[in-house]
Amino acid sequence: MTLTLREVVEILDCEVITGDGLIDEISVERGCAADLMSDVLAFSSSGSLLITGLINAQAVRTALIAEVEAIVFVRGKRPDQAAIELAKENGIPLFCTKLFMYDACGLLHSRKLKGLPEEKVNYGQ
Identify the band that residue 121 occupies on the pLDDT scale cut at 50, 70 and 90: low
Q: Facing residues of 50 across strands?
A: 32, 71
Helix H or strand E segment including 49 = strand 49-52
pLDDT band at 45 (very low <50, low <70, confident <90, very high): confident
CATH numbers and ranges of domains, the chain:
3-115 (3.40.1390.20)
Q: What is the pTM of this model?
A: 0.92
pLDDT of residue 61: 97
Least confident of 10-14, 24-28, 45-49, 77-81: 45-49
| Per-residue pLDDT, 122 | 58
- Give ∠ CA 65-38-118 in degrees, rounded to 5: 85
